[in-house]
Structure 1
Amino acid sequence: MNSFEIYSEMEDNLQAIYRSRLLTEILLSLNENSRKLSQLREITGSTSQAIIPKLRKLEEDYIIETKGREYCLTPIGKIVTSEIADSFATVGTINKFKYFWSTHCMEEIPISLLKEIGCLYNSKIFHDRRTKILNVYTNQLKTIKEAEHIYGISSVITEGYADSISEKVKEGVPVELIVPFHVAEELKQSPYAEKLEVLKSYNNFQLIYNNEDLKMGLIVTDKRLALSLYKRSGIEYDITTGLFSSDPKAIEWGERLFGYYKTHSEVKLHGNYAL
């Protein structure tokens, strides 16, 4: 049975939830914690007369149950409500940053993580402006400076970026950096070759080679996520726009994105670091 056939069969059940603002608010509220009727009234702004029939219907469907004087989700209810919450977060993140997504190349983000893009809802888009030249770059360097550990994917390299990474490595901060082929070639040239030579004795630094032409820039630290993408054409890396977040969900999402490319990269050892 395909998705269309499932929808046709379950249409009434689905619409019963999504068409009812009050029903959805009750479920999302209970997804956070168990609630008393008085708390549900306060959260939804509705009367007991309006809420109670919804609660009875949810109990009949074994979506919620009562424990003492509180309503809570059943195991089935937790599954249903979690999917509802995720769908809202996904649509919300797409709409909130629609211009960013529509003008940049998203193909480098694996489908498994695109499905979890709702984790980025509590993010901000930074732009370079006439009054804030290099705003994105400055905030990327700030993200590195404040980090206690760093995971990165670098599609471009600058001396400022290289110096910031080197400084953190020398401080003893664990750093793992993935670079595509063209950046690896640049790192063999001056002044980067000399900087890497200095880092050969540091076991807290790993440079990982990826044979693909990665179209993104990623910095994930214990405190922050910074994500930059190529423009929609896939030719030009956009250094003037970036997505930043300090939300733990966004940071975890960034760690999974880094982990995906680490798994799909070649590690070629050279001294005590990878190249």
Structure 2
Amino acid sequence: MNSFEIYYEMEDNLQAIYRSRLLTEILLSLNESSRKLSQLREITGSTSQAIIPKLRKLEEDHLIETKEREYCLTPVGKIVALGVADSFATVGTVSKFKYFWSTHYIEGIPTPLLKEIGCLYNSEVLYDKRTKILSVYSNQLKIIKNADHIYGISSVITEEYADSILEKVKEETSVELIVPLNVAEELKQSPYVEKLQVLKSYKNFQLKSKTEDLRIGLIVTDKCLVLSLYKKSGTEYDITTGLFSSDPKAIEWGERLFEYYKIHSDANLHGNYAL
């Protein structure tokens, strides 16, 4: 059964939730915590007369129940409420950063992570301006400097970036990097090959490569996520724009994205910098 068939079969149930502002607000509220009727009145701004029929409807559908004079989600209701919350977060994230997504190549983000794009809602997109060139890049370097651990996907490499990584590794910060083949080839050349020779003796540094293009840039630390993408054409990396977030949900999303590419990397280059 495809998505359209499911929608048509469950249309009444779906519209009952999404058409009713009050039903949606109750589910979202109870998804955070159990609530008394007085609390639901305050949160929704509605009267008891308006709320109680909705509560009865949700009880009939076995989505909520009462415990100690408070309304709470049933296990099934939790599944539904999470789905509703995720759908709003997804649409909200796409709408909030519409220009960023529409002007960049997002195909580098695998489908499982695109499904969780709502985790990035509490983020900020920074752009270089004529009066502030390389501000995005400078912020990335600051984030690396203040990190206690670093996971990175590097679609491009600069000497300043390499020096920042080298400094953190020497400070015994755990650093794991993934690079595409074109960057791996650059790392064979001076001045990078000399820096990698120094890194060779550090156990807290790992470098992996992928034989295909990685049209994505990622920095994930204990404090922050930075996501950079190629421009819409997919041929030019955009160093002037980046999505930044210190939200734990966004950081966890970035860790899952890094882990995805780590699992699908082709080679571990640590200790084998002749490539």
Q: Which residue of 1 aligns with 2:132?
A: 132
Offset at residue 246 of structure 1 (A)? 0.5
The structural deviation recorded for 1:208 is 0.6
Alignment of 1:53-64 (within 5 A): 53-64=53-64
Helix, strand or coil at the partner of 2:217: strand
1:159-238 counterparts in 2 under 5 A?
159-238=159-238
Aligned to 2:271: 271
AA of the residue aligned to 1:250: A
- Deviating more after overlay: 74-83 vs 8-17: 8-17
> What does residue 99 of structure 1 align with?
99
* Cα distance change on mapping 1:146 and 1:273 into 2, 3 Å: farther
Correspondences of 1:139-154 after superposition (within 5 Å): 139-154=139-154
Give the Å deviation of 1:9.
1.6
Q: Distance in 2 between matches of 1:84 and 1:151?
A: 31
Q: Secondary structure at the match of 1:122?
A: coil
**C-alpha contact (below 8 Å) 1:89/1:121 kept by paired residues:** yes
Q: Counterpart in 1 of 2:39?
A: 39
User: Structure 2 CA distance, aligned partners of 1:104 and 1:45?
Assistant: 40
Report the AA paired with residue 74 of structure 2.
Answer: T
**Percent identity, aligned pairs only?**
81
1:22-54 Cα distance to aligned partner (Å, 9 max, x none): 110010000000000000000000011110110
Partner of 1:67: 67
1:81 maps to 81
- Structure 1 counterpart of 2:90, one-letter code: T
Q: Could you tell me which amino acid in structure 1 is paired with residue 254 of structure 2?
A: G
Check conservation: 2:207, 2:270, Cα contact below 8 A: no
For 2:152 and 2:38, locate their aligned partners in 1 and report how far apart those are by CA, in whole Å. Answer: 48
CA distance in 1, matches of 2:77, 2:32: 12
What are structure 2's unaligned runs of at least 5 residues? none
The reply to whether residue 239 of structure 1 matches residue 242 of structure 2 is: no
Determine if contact 1:35/1:72 at 8 Å carries over to the other structure.
Answer: yes
CA distance in 1, matches of 2:7, 2:184: 49
* Alignment correspondent of 1:18: 18
The alpha carbon displacement at 1:273 in A equals 7.2
- Rounded to whole Å, the distance in 1 between the matches of 2:201 and 2:272 is 6
1:11 is displaced (CA, Å) by 1.0
Report the counterpart of residue 260 of structure 1 in structure 2.
260
Counterpart contact for 1:150–1:174, Cα < 8 Å = yes
* Residue 142 to residue 22, structure 1, CA distance change in 2 (3 Å): same
Whether the aligned pair in 1 keeps the contact of 2:104 and 2:229 (CA below 8 Å) is yes
Q: Distance in 2 between matches of 1:83 and 1:193?
A: 48
Structure-2 separation of matches of 1:14 and 1:20: 10
**3-state DSSP class of the match of 1:219?**
strand
Aligned residue identity for 2:37: L
Residues 89 and 274 (structure 1 numbering): CA distance in 2 closer, same or farther, change over 3 Å?
A: farther
Instruction: Measure how far apart 1:3 and its partner are.
Output: 1.8
Measure how far apart 1:268 and its partner are: 3.8
Q: What secondary structure does 1:238 align onto?
A: coil
How far apart in 2 are the matches of 1:268 and 1:54?
56
- Could you list the per-position Cα deviations for residues 66-116 of structure 1 after superposition, in whole angstroms to 9, with x for gaps in the alignment? 001100000110000100000000000000001100110011111000000
Which residue number in structure 2 is paired with residue 9 of structure 1? 9
Which structure 1 residue ranges, 4+ long, deviate > 3 Å from structure 2?
A: 272-275
Alignment RMSD: 1.2
Q: Note if contact 2:176-2:207 (Cα within 8 Å) is conserved in structure 1.
A: yes
For the 8 Å contact 1:207–1:273, the answer to whether it is kept is: no
Q: State the secondary structure of the residue aligned to 1:129.
A: coil
Shift in Å, 1:152: 0.3
Q: Tell me which residue corresponds to 1:158.
A: 158
Whether the aligned pair in 1 keeps the contact of 2:206 and 2:270 (CA below 8 Å) is no
Secondary structure at 1:46 match in 2: coil
What TM-score results when the alignment is normalised by the length of structure 1? 0.98
CA distance in 2, matches of 1:48, 1:268: 62
1:125 deviates by 0.1
